[in-house]
Amino acid sequence: MSVPVYGYVALSGLLFLIGAIGVLVRRNVLVILMCVELMLNAANLALLAFGSAHQSLDGQVTVLMVMAVAAAEVAVGLALIVTLFRHQGATDVDEVSLLKG
Amino acid sequence: MFELILFVVFAVVALAAAIGVVAQRNVLYSALLLVLNFICLAALYVLMNAQFVAVAQIIVYAGAVMVLFLFTVMLLPGKRIEVAGRRLPGQTPLAILLALALGAVLLLLLGGSLVALGRPAHPAITVGNVQALAEVLFTRYIWAFEATGVLLLVAVAGVVHLLRSGPRPGAPR
């Protein structure tokens, strides 16, 4: 007996929600980036679930593209965090308030 | 039946790990729980008969991305443990409100798509071998594939420039 599609889709929605909550409540910029990764993975899970339900490979190809974009995003994001730390000495998003009036 | 048991086990572990990433105060533990979440998702991809994507998930996320995260966590000096309290005024109630709104929207959208999906409610076993995936990737999606390569090159060049042009750690600010 195989797993119904709505199981995967429900799991994907829950993971996306947890990631979004993390982005909203956490203040460490590294953890915020990790939560964005959680959300991307949740989207990947939904893409694969719907793709296999439609018996189509387009979902899997899209997931591969998302993975490449996520890898590039992590590299650039971490470089930005290191640069931020060099300039401000902070990894807490509330301490970076240079543009605050 | 066996597949269903595997799905439940991996789904529960993935959810617990995701909650741990958000709830854990130590950044290092968050990163390690994120690896656990990625590995559970890879197992679920195998259950969906997407073997190549599962292997790519292990290599790209659990390998490359996590090495980047862990190196950054360990190389940045300073506190790794978030201090409780000291939030923006009204951040927590606002976060709860926005999360509830997002949950409602997700329920509406995903539920709607599932209803529109209708009959084929079980993932097919036929799709998912690497040969078929490669055929689609290198014919219909060849331009997207090439553009991804260019994107990765640009990202590498940007990161190298960003990290070389900043002030040296010992230099006065």
Query: In whole angstroms, what is the distance from residue B99 CA to residue A21 CA?
Result: 6
Query: How many C-beta atoms surround the C-beta of residue B3 within 10 A?
Result: 13
Q: For B94-151, how does the pLDDT look when each residue is reduced to its tens digit (9 = 90+)? A: 888 898 999 899 888 888 888 887 765 555 555 557 888 888 899 999 999 999 999 9
> In Å, how far is B32's CA from the nearest CA of chain A?
11
Closest-CA residue to A72 (of B141, B60, B73, B33)? B60
Chain A residue numbers with beta carbons less than 8 Å from the beta carbon of B120 are 53-55
Tokens 């862990």 sit on residue: B70
Query: What fold does the segment set B1-80 form as a domain?
Result: Four Helix Bundle (Hemerythrin (Met), subunit A) (1.20.120)
Domains in chain A (CATH in brackets) are 5-89 (1.10.287.3510)
- Cross-chain Cβ contact B60/A71 below 8 Å: yes
What are the b/e assignments for A9-40, b being 16+ CB within 10 Å? bbbbbbbbbbbbbbbbbbbbbbbbbbbbbbbb
Query: In whole angstroms, what is the distance from residue A76 CA to residue A65 CA?
Result: 17
For residue A22, what are the CA distances in angstroms to A79, B87, B129? 21, 14, 35
- Of A8-17, B65-74, B140-149, B157-166, give the lowest mean pLDDT range: B157-166
